[in-house]
Amino acid sequence: MGQEQYNQWVQKTNPNQQDQLCGGQYVSKNEMYFIENYAKTNILDIGCGTGHRTFPIWIERKLNFYGIEKFQNLIDYSKYRDKIINHDISSTEFMGKVNELSTKHFDISFLFGGVINGIIDQELQERTWENFRSLLDKCDYILIDTLTHFPWFSTAETGEEIQLFSLVPTQYFYSKKELEKLNNKFGLEFCEERTESIRNLSRTHYLIKKKKN
């Protein structure tokens, strides 16, 4: 039920309000760190929404990029809609769509703004990590982020569905052990992590790569 409610909320919320909830034009120090150090030539911006927050950075830095967004209403509102593909990182068909792109290799795939927190269904979570494994044949790194200030984050085996704010429906917030378990299941690992403060919250960005055999 949580997944359905979240999807309906995104589809019914005004895209301009979605932009504001995702930070407006603000890009954090953590985000800029990973952009400056890992985005060299070709990138994917997965769960990009309208693209109004991050696409100006890609354009300014003269990067070749594609946005990928699950919700068509956000794409329709975007002034960059021609650069956004309507698809879903948790879909069984995701890699087929990526393989159709003319760019064959990417430096990094960004999932900024808690994209993984909107994937609430456990089956979809596992499919997302399965797609991560396949995607890492086409890119060097994947960057995800999640809130990590919860007292149970470092010790709990699983995360929790939580409604952080009244304007936003329930989302899923992982525990560290749960993230590591998903990585282990699909042969992935964290190779860098950085935590930043957002008001009274903490957000950690995790850089993922394939484990070496």
Give the tens place of pLDDT for each residue, 40-52. Answer: 999 999 999 999 9
Instruction: Give me the average pLDDT of each 10-residue run along the chain (213 residues).
Output: 91 88 84 98 97 96 98 96 97 96 96 96 97 98 97 97 91 98 98 94 97 84
pLDDT of residue 1: 62
Q: Which CATH superfamily is domain 2-210 in?
A: Vaccinia Virus protein VP39 (3.40.50.150)
The burial class, CB within 10 Å (0-12 / 13-18 / 19+), for 206 is buried
pLDDT of residue 166: 87
- pTM value? 0.96
Q: Where are the domains of the chain?
A: 2-210
pLDDT of residue 106: 98
